[in-house]
């Protein structure tokens, strides 16, 4: 197995991980930022205030983007299984 093949497989794995996790992380970040600005404006310092909106947002984006995430992971797995015999041999 050459160095180029290992780098290519690793790069593809990392890119797939970033693509699949990005929607959930972005929604969680935006909700956290909005809640933080709201807390700063109203001077409400409740730590647990961010949990429920984040959980609901992550659940909603998972339900909406779930099929795309699964399709992306399946596509990656198919590419991986297709290239492993070429790389290992």
* 70 pLDDT more than 90: yes
DSSP 61-75: HHHHHHHHHHHHHHH
> What is residue 60's predicted lDDT score, i.e. its pLDDT?
97
Which pTM value belongs to this model?
0.81
- Supply the pLDDT for residue 14: 97
Query: How many other β-carbons are positioned within 10 Å of the β-carbon of residue 27?
Result: 20
CA atoms within 13 A on the CB side of 75: 12
Q: Is the pLDDT of residue 68 over 70?
A: yes
Cβ atoms of 23 and 61 within 8 Å: the answer is: yes
pLDDT at 6: 83
Helix (H) or strand (E) holding 38, with range, is helix 3-42
Read off the pLDDT of residues 13-63 as tens digits, 9 standing for 90 and up: 999 999 999 999 999 999 999 999 999 898 888 878 889 999 999 999 999
Judge whether 20 and 73 are in contact, CB under 8 Å. yes
2: three-class secondary structure by DSSP: coil
């Amino acid at each position: 197995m050459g160095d180029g093949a290992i780098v290519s497989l690793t790069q593809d794995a990392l890119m797939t991980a970033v693509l699949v996790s990005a929607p959930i992380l972005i929604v969680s970040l935006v909700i956290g930022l909005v809640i933080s600005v709201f807390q700063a404006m109203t001077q409400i310092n409740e730590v647990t205030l961010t949990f429920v909106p984040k959980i609901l947002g992550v659940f909603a984006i998972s339900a909406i983007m779930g099929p795309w995430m699964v399709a992306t992971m399946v596509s990656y797995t198919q590419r991986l299984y297709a290239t492993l015999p070429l790389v290992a041999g």
